[in-house]
Amino acid sequence: MPLLNFLPIVLIYLFGLINLFGIRPDLLIAAAAYGGIGIICFIIIRRLNIYRYFFRSNATLFYWFSLTFLIGTYFFGVVANGSRRWLDIGIFQFQPSELLKIFLIVFLAQIFAQKRSFMQQRFLFLRGLVYTIIPTIIIFLQPDLGSALILGTIFIVMALHARLPAKQLVVFFSIIVISIPLVWFTLHDYQKGRIKSFINPQLDSSGASYNMSQAIISVGSGRVFGKGLGLGKQSQLRFLPEYHTDFAFSSFMEQFGLLGGGILISLYMVFFTLLFARIMQCMPRGDPDEQYRYYYTLGFSAFIIMQTCVNIGMNIGILPVAGITLPFISYGGSSLITFIIGLALLP
């Protein structure tokens, strides 16, 4: 992918740094450092020209490597806000589920791009499903429902374009529909509360619906031009929870208003359009290399678009709170570096 196509992402990241300077200036150096690490990874991957072959040929190894860290997090991870999602590696806390998203895309792209016989074709869907379900269940148990849904979305989008038997897809989606009511009983109380508060925000305005209500207030208080850098009361007075991570978009809107939010969303839309154009250019014509590039670009697009839409949706109150970050805006080393690595792997 031409480097010029990454310009919208660079601008979004700069907006993220400016937003962080207005709400948590003490974290600005760390955020810039994470960005620097990500850029180094990006340059190494692109300059060595191994991103098409090294990661693809070792897709299985990277998948099990990241899954091992994910399992380790379940047993030895750091607990924060009731979730065990991070591993403390000394200099910073690392979230393996973020990196696994990218390596799952690489792994599924490799699977779907392989030349296969008729018998192998029949079991292709089941193989991809099993390798997706394993980390999805672990992430769900952390608990991290948002990331689990992201993994499921990645698999579904890639599987729908993999020319799999229609019968298998029909059975799969039928099972999902039937299982939705059963999933409710596996959710934690706070997850049920988020869904209930989304349906009826007045149900518990000081409890489960508090985050969503404060996020909506922050967005609305910015009006057209915003209150100005560092002048957002919802963030400065800590009324808005997680204002630099999950609800960074609300903080951004409070500071820069509808105008700033519109520019930010437009930059995302430009980048998504470039991704769609790249997908069309990589349409598979039978060659395994072309198929791999197509499936990886498709999977990464589903990943970043889904995560962006869900985060913005929960910030403006049209989706339940899911606890996932906004790409290149929310503060977080693991997510930022993961997104940059994902960009570097784009063909």
Residue 51 has pLDDT above 70, yes or no: no
Q: Give me the pLDDT at residue 85, please.
A: 85
Q: Does the pTM of the predicted model rise above 0.85? A: yes
Q: Give me the pLDDT at residue 119, please.
A: 57
Please give the average per-residue pLDDT across 176-181, as a whole number: 82
Quick one: what percent of the chain has pLDDT higher than 70? Answer: 93
Read off the pLDDT of residues 204-221 as tens digits, 9 standing for 90 and up: 665 657 888 899 999 999
Q: Give me the pLDDT at residue 49, please.
A: 62
Q: Give me the pLDDT at residue 276, please.
A: 95
Please give the average per-residue pLDDT across 241-252, as a whole number: 93
316 falls in which pLDDT band (50, 70, 90)?
Answer: very high
Residue 280 has pLDDT above 70, yes or no: yes
Q: Give me the pLDDT at residue 207, please.
A: 60
Q: Give me the pLDDT at residue 50, please.
A: 59
Helix H, strand E, coil C: the string for the chain is CCHHHHHHHHHHHHHHHHHHHHHCHHHHHHHHHHHHHHHHHHHHHHHCCCCCCHHHHCHHHHHHHHHHHHHHHHHHCEEECCEEEEEECCCCEECHHHHHHHHHHHHHHHHHHCCCCHHHHHHHHHHHHHHHHHHHHHHHHCCCHHHHHHHHHHHHHHHHCCCCCHHHHHHHHHHHHHHHHHHHCCCCHHHHHHHHHHHCCCCCCCCCCHHHHHHHHHHHHCCCCCCCCCCCHHHHCCCCCCCCCCCHHHHHHHHHHHHHHHHHHHHHHHHHHHHHHHHHHCCCCCCHHHHHHHHHHHHHHHHHHHHHHHHHHHHCCCCCCCCCCCCCCCCCHHHHHHHHHHHHCCC
